[in-house]
Chain A
Amino acid sequence: MPVHDVFEEANRQLIICNACRYCEGYCPVFRAIETRRDFQRGDVFYLSNLCHDCRACYYACMYTPPHEFAINIPKILAEARIETYERLSWPGFLGRAFKHRGVTVFLAVAAIALVAILSFALIPSSSLFAAHVGPGAFYEVVPYFAMVAGGLILFFYGIAVWLRGGAQFWSETRTVLQQPGGFNAFLAAAGAALGLRYLKGGGPGCFYPDERPSSVRRVYHSLTFWGLVCDFISTTLAFIYQDFLHLLPPYALSSAPVIFGAVGGVALILGTGGLLYFKMRSDPDPAGSGAPGMDYVFLVTLGLVALTGMFTLVYRETSAMGSLLVLHLGFIAALFLTAPYGKFVHAVYRTLAVMRYEMERGQPGSGAGH
Chain B
Amino acid sequence: MNLSALQWIGLCLLLILFFTFWGRNNSKRALRSIPAFRQLRRTIELSVEDGSRLQISLGRGGILGPEAATAFAGLTLLRQVADIAADSDQPPIATTGDGAIMLLAQDTLRNSYKRLGIADQYHFRLAQTTGLTPFSYAAGALPRILDREVSATALAGSFGEEAGLLTSATQLSGGFSLGGSENLTSQAILFASADQPLIGEEIFATGAYMGSGPTHQASLHAQDVLRWVAILLFIVTALLPLFGGLR
Partners in one complex: no
Give chain A's interface residues, CB within 8 Å of chain B: none
